[in-house]
Amino acid sequence: MRFLRFLIFGVCTLLIFAALNNRIGQIPPLGKFLNPFSGFWANNRYMDVLPPSVDVDELSRPVTILWDDRRVSHIFAENTEDLFFTQGYVTAMDRLWQMDFQSYAAAGRISEIVGEATLEFDRLRRRIGIPAAAKIAEREILHHPETRAAAEAYTSGVNAFIRTLRYKTLPLEYKIFDYWPEHWTVFKSALLLKSFSYTLSFRNPEAIQTRTREVLGDSLMNVLSPIYPPYMDPVVPAGTSWNFRRTNLQSTSEGRNGFPTSRLNFEHGDPPVEGSNNWAISGVRSKTGLPILASDPHLSLTLPSIWHEIQLVGPDLNVYGITSPGAAGVLFGFNQHVAWGMTNGGSDALDYYRITFRDEHRTEYKFDNSWLPVTMRIDTISVRGQKAIIDTVLLTHFGPVVFLPSDSLTDPQIPPGAALRWIAHDPSNEWLSFLRLNRARNLDEALRALEHFDSPVQNFALADDAGEIAIVHNGKLPIRLPGQGRFLSDGADPKTEWNGWIPRSHLPQVRNPKRGFVSSANQNPVDQSYPYYLGDGYATFDRGARINTLLENASGVQGEDMLRMQIDDASIYAQKIMPTILSMIPVEKLSDLERRCYEELMKWEYNYRADMIAPTLSETWMVEISDAIWLDEIDRPDGILARPRRDVTLHLILTQRSSPFYDNRSTPAAETLTDILLQSFKSACRKLEERHGAYGPRWRWGQARGTTLGHLARIPGMGRYKLETSGNFNTINAMSGSFGPSWRMVVELGSMPKALGIYPGGQSGNPGSREYDAFVDDWVEGRAYELLFLSSPDIQHSRLPFTTIMKGKP
């Protein structure tokens, strides 16, 4: 019996030991994780401590880091290699887990960390070709001496920090997921650059638009989904004369017979919310007589923040701004002479081609009356806790066939059996553009730097201290016939190939316009007179028109005025539509609740403020109106067609009081616009009461919508939730539930630039740090910080509380 008790005790001890030292499912090894000296408790003690000195082998000369009161590092180095080495080291100090995890995501390797739950995510990234594109980008980066030097020095700095890690100083997420950081490489940095191309350019509604045209025909398709939408105020002002002629190609077949698509479970509708604003005013509109530039990119909002703020000072460089952790240099920012900011260009960067395989073996496909060989790429996907998965991707000369009709893996944007042609697969070196922008001394040098930037297409707004401003719709764009790429193309027809590129000198651009400003908000870059077709997936008119209206009336402007403009929450869309639709509501048919809602909208001045109920009513009603007009048209038994955008709905209501679209095909009655508006208003009021309870504070916009900054890996409790934000996706302050201004920056050029800036997050990536989300509350309130642009490491300033000296070991 004594032996049996001893045996039971021993087995229990071994089980407890195993449980404490091994991962069980998604639970980390509790022995290590809960250790009071080296477990998660240690992340509160060690991660905020800044060292007074650091000794590393790789530095050739000492480097000084001045840390300001927001933990922004101002790095002073005597040579470029040491500068970028230190940037890599400091970025890893603050954000190692984030940059590492994002490189895993881009490479399609998340399943190595979390297991089979993310297998489809990984397969999609690999099939699209993000890792393959990053390999090509790595080759280009290493081929050019300028980018090679920066990338290798940065990489060396990251790895120098990784070598200092022990379990107690390991970032918290490594402990939660129970893994260690890999050696950093230039390839990982290239992955992050290609991940931006995916986020900003991998969208194309060809599949659903092809199906919509099959059902509705060309005429109706062009009415409901016009290439050039109503009310548009383009980036390059309408009526601009073009001093060049189009470079012509052979006519292109559009595959008029369409493409057999499976049932699609989404609607195209309004463009995705990833976007941005930027503008620059010339000295004729500013108080100082010199330009002011404003930039606020709108992206997915997470913690840690997508951006890391930094200043880099070297022999031929003094630049301040934000970068993506993993990339050397500054992506959005300014130096002593030039400021720049980007918005997503939105021009069509990819096409899908219908592939005709020779037989069921899919080893050959038809092209130009010949049969070309299919290349097969075999991918091995490691999955934590189980055997690796083997995945096969078919490659054509266009690009990968992402899905086959028999695949279990699907994506509503990607038609099965079609090959993907995407600009991001081509050789390019965007890093070179940013490094040269960082050093640009005037507008001419900045524009020349952009010649190396291919993907994703961006609207670069620029200003310099000589008084010049410009905006350029910049990137590598294929020459297309009007409408080419709106629908699936015939991959057997050589006329559908991309056979040339729009010359750089022909890209849409404006320099020093007479009106004294340039701007963009993801809208159409040009009007219909532009000689080339660029696409039709741009943002609606609202934000761009509001920006231009404010700038046209601006004078004596200062930086603070531009910041107030960035948080402007007035809706031009609501200003246009609300008076008309409210006037058509028969008030006598409203209940007490509905009348109260009606009165709230009648007194509304069309601002999307967090403390107002009217924005909640407006947005809910707009959705109900769109459903009432379009659902019976687009929801077909064999698939949903493309939903017309909001601007099309607006134009219909304002210009046609009578239309067959107002009649609901599913009812025997013949509905009118008045019927639609009344029914949808009643439905909106009812749904708000169901969602938020009785009319009251919970109906306020900030509570009903809210904005969430979720953790990057969706770990509960490590984000900020339901922030009561103002603004809406179609206001200048373009806020939504999980997207919004990821960085607000205003730069006044002069003998020494003055700048304001803020992003929703904090410099540290450690959830236990007070610097993790230190800026979020000020960001919600629309405040910003003075950015310290320093010129010497010897400066004394009340906002510079700490210094680190990095030295090479003797």
Q: For the chain (length 810 residues), average pLDDT per consecutive 10? A: 45 46 61 56 66 95 98 98 99 98 98 96 96 98 98 99 94 95 98 96 88 88 89 95 72 32 36 75 98 98 98 98 98 99 96 96 96 97 96 97 87 89 97 98 99 97 99 96 86 91 97 98 96 92 98 98 98 98 98 98 98 98 97 78 92 96 89 96 98 97 97 96 97 96 98 98 95 98 98 95 91
Q: Specify the pTM.
A: 0.93
Beta strands in 639-693 (DSSP E): 639-640
Q: How far apart are CA 291 and CA 789, in angstroms?
A: 17
Please identify which residue in the block is written with the tokens 């129970």. 178
Contacts 24+ apart (CB under 8 A), 662-670: 662/629, 664/628, 664/632, 665/632, 665/633, 666/632
Q: What is the SS3 assignment for 770?
A: coil
Specify the DSSP element, H or E, that contains 488: none
Give the largest Cα separation in the chain, rounded.
99
DSSP, res 517:
E
Give Cβ neighbours of residue 91 (< 8 Å, ≥ 6 apart): 99, 157, 158, 308, 310, 323, 325, 326
DSSP, res 662:
G
DSSP, res 748:
E
Q: How far apart are CA 351 and CA 487, in angstroms?
A: 8
Beta strands in 654-797 (DSSP E): 707-711, 720-723, 739-741, 744-748, 754-758, 785-786
Question: Of the candidates 269, 277, 273, which has an alpha carbon nearest to the alpha carbon of residue 735?
Answer: 273
Question: Of the candidates 515, 531, 527, which has an alpha carbon nearest to the alpha carbon of residue 242?
Answer: 531
Output the pLDDT for position 408.
81
Pairing label, strands 754-758, 308-314: unpaired
Report residue 46 as tokens.
Answer: 């060690």
Neighbours of 44 (CB within 10 A): 14
Q: How far apart are CA 462 and CA 339, in angstroms?
A: 6
Q: What is the SS3 assignment for 389?
A: strand
The DSSP-derived string for 65-92 is EEE-TT--EEEE-SSHHHHHHHHHHHHH
Question: Of the candidates 654, 672, 644, 661, which has an alpha carbon nearest to the alpha carbon of residue 581?
Answer: 654
Sign of CA dihedral 29, 34, 36, 42: positive
DSSP, res 607:
B
**Taking CA 284 as the corner, what is the angle to CA 280 and CA 287, rounded to the nearest 5 degrees?**
85
Counting every residue written for the chain, the total comes to 810
Q: How far apart are CA 345 and CA 475, in angstroms?
A: 9
CATH architecture label of 574-699: Orthogonal Bundle (1.10)
Specify the DSSP element, H or E, that contains 670: none
Give Cβ neighbours of residue 104 (< 8 Å, ≥ 6 apart): 110, 112, 113
Residue 570: beta bridge partners? Answer: 607
Q: How far apart are CA 424 and CA 349, in angstroms?
A: 8
Q: Contact at 8 Å (CB) between 192 and 103?
A: yes
Q: What is the SS3 assignment for 357?
A: strand
Output the pLDDT for position 248.
60
Report residue 536 as tokens.
Answer: 């039709």
Report residue 259 as tokens.
Answer: 């493409």
Q: How far apart are CA 337 and CA 751, in angstroms?
A: 8
Q: How far apart are CA 75 and CA 607, in angstroms?
A: 42
DSSP, res 416:
T
Q: How far apart are CA 504 and CA 507, in angstroms?
A: 5
DSSP, res 570:
B
Specify the DSSP element, H or E, that contains 129: none
Helix 614-634, helix 592-602: angle, nearest 10: 110
Contacts 24+ apart (CB under 8 A), 497-503: 497/398, 498/351, 498/421, 499/249, 499/250, 500/247, 500/249, 501/476, 501/477, 502/247, 502/477, 502/478, 502/532, 503/244, 503/247
Cβ neighbourhood burial of 80 (10 Å; 0-12, 13-18, 19+)? buried
Q: How far apart are CA 459 and CA 63, in angstroms?
A: 35
Give Cβ neighbours of residue 212 (< 8 Å, ≥ 6 apart): 221, 224, 225, 634, 641, 642
Q: What is the SS3 assignment for 295?
A: strand
Helix 572-583, helix 592-602: angle, nearest 10: 130
Please identify which residue in the block is written with the tokens 């919600």. 780
Could you give the strand order of the β-sheet that contains 489-490, starting from the edge strand earlier in sequence?
375-381, 389-395, 400-401, 418-422, 350-354, 489-490
Report residue 789 as tokens.
Answer: 């642009």
Beta strands in 58-194 (DSSP E): 63-67, 73-76
Sign of CA dihedral 787, 789, 794, 797: negative
- Rounded alpha-carbon distances, angstroms, from residue 296 to 456, 520, 573, 717, 745: 17, 11, 21, 27, 6
Q: How far apart are CA 565 and CA 547, in angstroms?
A: 8
Amino acid found at 638: D
